Amino acid sequence: MLVTGIKSKPVYTPLAPDLTGRYHLMLGHGVGREPLLRVLRDLRVAAPESGARTRVLFVGSPDEQAAGGEQFRAAGAAEVRLFGRPDELLTDFQDVLTHSFMGTRLYVAGPESFMGLAMRIARQFNLNKDEVRAEECGSAARRVYCIHCQTATENVTTNIVQCKDCNRWLLVRDHYSSRLAAYMGVMVDAEAPGERPDVKEVFP
């Protein structure tokens, strides 16, 4: 029933420093800390002078923040900002982008839904594919956009989910909207009410 090979599904790849960039802005969520530390260390080896132009925004639990803050600075980040909630980080991210210059490279590491929201903001600033690198780590849970009532349901880990707003049962597609930062959810039993496939966890 799921259509595979849909081109809009975002493809994320392991992070590596982009030495053509002049400024390096890094966004991390939870276990996204490890990839960012790796980039910072690689960057320091390949281009030691770039450390002064490196900034990290990180969201995590109090423990993750404490450990992350120390590790990012030790790995060479010139500035580290820590947040307890993703929306706080994303608000600050917009402010940082407003004051950033051309030549900035963005690195994002975190769970699926965080990536989508961060990428949506980057896109609003016309950051193109050759300016952004993203590595998915942590939960693959999706934001699912109900195409019927036009609301998003967060943290969906299953193939079928009930819309939190209109209660329709939605099939979670690979069809992704970068504008909405969500996967499309389409009513699964529209033609035969009540006939639904088994609900399985597919986005752990």
Partner 1 sequence: MSHADTIAVRVVAVEQVTPQIKHFKLAAVDGSRLPAFSGGSHIIVVMRDVDRVHRNPYSLLGIPGELETYEIAVRRMEQSRGGSQFMHDTVQVGSTLEIAHPVNLFGLSKIGRKHILIAGGVGITPILAQMEDLHQDSVPYEIHYSVRSPEHAAFLARLGNRAAERLNVYYDSSGDAIDFDGLLSTQPLGTHFYVCGPAGMIQLVLAKAREWGWPESHIHWEQFSAPPAGEAFDVHLAKASLDVHVVPDQSLLECIEAAGVEVPYLCRGGVCGFCRTDVLELDGELIHNDHYLSDEEKASGRVIMPCVSRARCRKLVLDL
Q: Which of 29, 105, 133, 143 binds partner 1 (CB under 8 A)?
A: 105
Label residues 71-95 b or e (16+ Cβ within 10 Å = b).
bbeebbbeebbbbeebeebbeebee
In a 13 Å sphere around the CA of 183, the CA atoms on its Cβ side amount to: 31
Establish if 197 lies at the interface with partner 1 (CB under 8 A).
no
User: Residues in contact with partner 1, total (CB under 8 A)?
Assistant: 19
Q: How far is the CB of 54 from partner 1 (least distance, A)?
A: 13
Q: Which of 37, 57, 59, 127 binds partner 1 (CB under 8 A)?
A: 127
Q: Which residues 84-103 are close enough to bind partner 1 by CB under 8 A?
A: 97-98, 100-103
Q: Which residue from 20, 23, 96 is spatially nearest to 58, judged by alpha carbons? A: 96
Whichever of 13 and 98 has its CB closer to partner 1, that residue is: 98
In the complex, what is the shortest distance from the CB of residue 146 to partner 1, in angstroms, rounded to a whole number?
27
| Residue 138, phi then psi, degrees to nearest 5 | 95, -155
Cβ 96 to partner 1 shortest distance, Å: 10
3-state secondary structure 35-99: HHHHHHHHHHHHCHHHHHHEEEEEECCHHHHHHHHHHHHHCCCCEEEEECCHHHHHHHHHHHHHC
187 near partner 1, rule: CB under 8 A: no
Q: Are 34 and 58 in contact (CB under 8 A)?
A: no
Closest distance to partner 1 from the beta carbon of 52 (Å): 14
The one among 23, 47, 120, 157 contacting partner 1 by CB under 8 A: 23
Taking CB under 8 A as the binding criterion, the range among 15-23, 81-89, 177-185, 186-194 that sits at the site for partner 1 is: 15-23
Distance spanning both ends of the chain, measured CA to CA: 19
Residues that bind partner 1 (CB under 8 A): 20-23, 97-98, 100-105, 125-131
